[in-house]
Amino acid sequence: MKLRRVVVTGLGALTPLGNTVPEYWNGLINGVSGADRITRFDATKFKTQFACEVKNFDPLNFFDRKEVRKYDPYAQYGMVSSDEAIADAGLIPEKLDLDRIGVIWASGIGGLVTFQDEVSDYAKGDGTPRFNPFFIPKMIADITAGHISIKHGFRGPNFATVSACASSANAIVDAFNYIRWGKADMFVCGGSEAAVNAPELVVLMRCMPFLPATMIRKPHPDHLT
């Protein structure tokens, strides 16, 4: 079997360094730190009070209010960054075989914000089993790949890769292999995460004995690299 060549035609980014590819690249080459004081929740009682959050992101600039309620933040990040990549590639869906375009979108943990909100609301109640009907669809790790394909009409292979911090790299390699093996012509691939919340931070704090002291107690998070 002759392997096909594979090229990257479009890029997208929504990161702690910048919310577009140019912003991200500018921050990267100028040594800007993505770390800052946590704003997503009150971290005053936590030993670690900084994290790398996505900043100045308003989902209402990209989705209507109904859609925002249906998408976990990790899915919002994935859809916005993939839209940038698709636009950057200059794809014209009407001229493409949509059955040959797939989506492989990764997440190490999926909709953790949704899981925390739903379980917390239930725990605060009187035991009545009330949950958002979108609880599971918002939370599962492969829902973003589904949303991207539905939005753009892509009908090729569609799934998520979950391999901890290597999840997105895994997705890109899988897409590379599918194309060079002739299983598809194009892929939207990458990954997203929205895990800056109290449970995640508590778990990471348990790892403190394994981290350098400077990574834990640095007084000015904007100086971290």
Q: For 110-160, how does the pLDDT look when each residue is reduced to its tens digit (9 = 90+)?
A: 999 999 999 988 999 889 988 988 899 999 999 999 999 999 999 999 999
| Average pLDDT of the chain to the nearest whole number | 90
pTM, whole model, 2 decimals? 0.88
Q: Are 19 and 38 in contact (CB under 8 A)?
A: no
How far, in Å, CA of 148 to CA of 75, rounded?
A: 9
Lowest average pLDDT, out of 40-44, 156-160, 171-175, 178-182, goes to 40-44
Query: In 10 A of CB 95, how many CB atoms?
Result: 6
Q: Is the pLDDT of residue 203 over 80?
A: no
Lowest average pLDDT, out of 22-36, 92-106, 206-220, goes to 206-220
Lowest average pLDDT, out of 18-22, 104-108, 130-134, 171-175, goes to 130-134
Q: Print burial letters for 114-126: b (CB count within 10 Å at least 16), e (below 16).
A: bbbbbeeeeeeee
Q: Are 167 and 189 in contact (CB under 8 A)?
A: no
In this prediction, residue 198 carries a pLDDT of 78
- The average pLDDT across 161-176 equals 96
- The average pLDDT across 156-180 equals 97
Helix, strand, or coil (residue 11)? coil
Helix, strand, or coil (residue 114)? helix
Q: Are 102 and 157 in contact (CB under 8 A)?
A: yes
As a whole-number percent, the residues of the chain with pLDDT over 70 amount to: 89
